[in-house]
Chain A
């Protein structure tokens, strides 16, 4: 694995030597096709995700990023290797907040009931979980939508609700799998900023999968670039622009943004222009 540190980070950024939130140690994963032949998807991922950092995963589509998340969330067992969350085996539910691709709100539940889902599964009594959910909606100015059904909301609003649903159970680690991919560019910029500030106020460890290199650079402390399937970490970049400059927009207009963009683009380009095409 190549480790590259094009930028020296400041003290505010969780850095080398910081506590490790999630440790992936030589994780491998293969699925089986109908004949029972193994299809290797993850060749070898070894990666330490630091406490309180915001790390992005970029890689060619279909390389195994979502599979990696499913393993971290303990929805899938790795074929080999080990994964630890603060030193122990991850448990479903309490510790990891998993926000999947698209918003995935339940169409038959109102916004309030959607937000309460995690608490409901955890067995929090009805009155209490609804009160908590209402409180959260109020905090993010979404209280007006409490009794609406998801289909009446715009994509950006639904994504905000999905984030609140993820945060309400107070997980230690938040996994975001291409949360902005279905949104138009403007909504995405606004939401990047907003979500980053929400997440910062909670001081969570966040892992973001995205196919948007710009988004990864603008939001993250670090960016991990993955190889094609079977995947592994190709390169790690220390970024931290938004944390230092205070916003994604400022990060995007920083000269280092373009440099990083070109480097990561080159990393991905080599793979995409490789034997596959």
Chain B
């Protein structure tokens, strides 16, 4: 059974519909890229998958034993105010908040998990630094470590490489692929269509037309061809 199944999902705000008729599923170990133009509702979809907002109609079901609190999330922008005093260690540790439940303090295992995930993302030496004072790429890796503390199964990433330079971008992609190879399902929003078709196993294209299928099928589909061709044209 799939880990995540969306049936006939319609998204929007108030009485304005953004997209409707979304049907897709994510199986264990899949790497799904969500592509589409600005403002088509990609972030809205992700927020719906996380139950941060209600769909206008349709359902989001979790299966294969996955529970809502086992999904790690990397937001598009973390609206952390300037000057927020938070060390990297504190930020990563806050990824364990679901595991902590009602206990008031983090256990030794949770602290170890945070340390392990910092090592995994290569930010161990930044542990004592102030989160706000890191570069964009370092911040993203810290947030990824936090998301990993929340899950061993599924990561939702909203434009994880936005604003990163090409070198850091490809490092980030490699990190994400590595996590995927370790068995974590990935759902990633990206505007980098070339990278999307390179890394992803499945593509969900949102716009006036909707496409869902494997990357291979996407390359061959009219909509995929058009989109990929446009990108090459620009390049």
| Real binding pair | no
Chain B residues close to A by CB (< 8 Å) = none
